[in-house]
Amino acid sequence: MTDLKPPFRADHVGSLLRPASIVEARKKFYQNKSIDAAELKAVEDAAIPELIKMQEDVGLKAVTDGEARRSFWHYDFMGMLTGLDLDERDEGVQFAGVKLRPIYPTITSKLDFPEDHPMIEHFKFVAENTKVVPKISIPGPSCCHFRTAPEDIHVPEYKEDPQALFADLAATYKKAVDTFYKAGCRYLQMDDIFFAYLCDPKHRAEKVANGQDPDWLIERYSWMLREAIKDRPSDMYIGMHMCRGNFRSTHAAEGAYDLAAESIFSTGVDIFFMEYDTDRAGGLEPLKLLPKGNQIVLPGFITTKSAELEDIDWLKSKFDEASKYVDINQLGIAPQCGFASTEEGNSITPDDQKRKLELVVKTAEAIWGGV
């Protein structure tokens, strides 16, 4: 194991464009039914070390498997939980100008984290194939609630008492934290993007229409995450990513962090990945609510949605602005989101992706003298 420890000045959210060999193998397995699961895994096992090497070569000190074994950043993990199934229907979730594939989480029994959850092995594979810090990104507990429609909750206790669902989600994720730690994970990231969604007037209105108070949900989502991670060992670092959707370079929400910032920064998370590549994210003022200490924010001024490289002097100016609200030593740099939140990936090339990650490292070196 490496002696390196998070947080790092240069980092990334986790997902990467899928290598062509994996794209082809997944099509053969899921659509054509021409190869078996062992053959698919063999292709993944051959391609993922190259993704890891690319991250190491650009200078990153924390690496992932690019989520290359997944179809979605969230649904794969969720569907592997005890008590949660994924249903495929006719109509997908609406993004800007495009709809997500029609997958719907359905809670069918009491929730739990199984000891043999496949992503434990996904993490171990990264750990076995890197010289730096292995990281895995999973969806945070809020995803299981936000993405599950009330009519798709089939456990009477959960339907009658939302807090019973929140308590079991917190317990499920606490078990996940413990299980990943036992597997050697010291850097676990949870993508809790729905804090940002609940700052969007449209999404807030949808929750109100479903009889849910969006501000109460923000507070409950914060409570769930805090409960899940509060007893983690002192040498385990927790990250949290927030954005406004990322599917084929499109988005699904907009709105500043102001309504959720206090709850976000009270979770006890160590490393916050916060989307900031467009005006959709609002201003930097909410950063002033970050407590003084060892927590760090990685503002996502570098976008993954397009190939154009940001100017490093412009990036420096953004950090000059951010440092008006939070100590520069509590800041770092990461892209605004992953490069492939779903297996389709964003509208960029692998070379574009590598240049973006090189820019992350170059920016960290220019501002803090290293990564």
DSSP 29: I
pLDDT digits (tens, 9 = 90+) for 10-26: 999 999 999 999 999 99
Torsional sign, CA 56, 178, 192, 203: positive
Q: Please give the average per-residue pLDDT across 288-310, as a whole number.
A: 95
Q: Which of 59-68, 124-133, 183-192, 200-209 has the lowest mean pLDDT?
A: 200-209
In a domain, 113, yes or no: yes
Range of the domain at 92: 20-368
Strands (E), the chain: 62-63, 82-88, 94-95, 98-99, 103-112, 133-134, 136-139, 187-191, 237-242, 271-275, 296-300
What's 2's DSSP letter?
A: -
Structural domain contains residue 133: yes
Min mean pLDDT across 102-116, 239-253, 357-371 is at: 239-253
pLDDT band at 190; cut points 50, 70, 90: very high
E strand intervals along 195-319: 237-242, 271-275, 296-300
Task: Report the DSSP beta bridge partners of residue 105.
Answer: 86
User: Is residue 15 included in any domain, yes or no?
Assistant: no
Q: Is the pLDDT of residue 9 over 80?
A: yes
CATH number at residue 141: 3.20.20.210
pLDDT beyond 90 at 207: no
Three-state secondary structure string covering 216-230: HHHHHHHHHHHHHHC
Q: Is residue 353 part of a domain?
A: yes
User: Per-residue confidence at 249, pLDDT binned at 50, 70, 90?
Assistant: very low
Angle subtended at Cα 322 by Cα 320 and Cα 324, rounded to the nearest 5 degrees: 80
Q: Is residue 14 part of a domain?
A: no
The pLDDT-based confidence of 93 (bands split at 50, 70, 90) is low
Neighbours of 274 (CB within 10 A): 24
**Three-state secondary-structure class, residue 250:** strand
312 occurs within a structural domain? yes
Amino acid at 44: E
pTM for this model (two decimals): 0.92
Is 114 domain-assigned?
A: yes
pLDDT exceeds 80 at position 94 = no
Within a domain: 186: yes
- CA 119/CA 153 separation, integer angstroms: 24
Q: How many domains does the chain have?
A: 1
Cis peptide bond N-terminal to 7, omega within 30: yes
Q: Is 97 helix (H, G, I), strand (E, B) or coil?
A: coil
Q: How much is the mean pLDDT over the chain?
A: 92
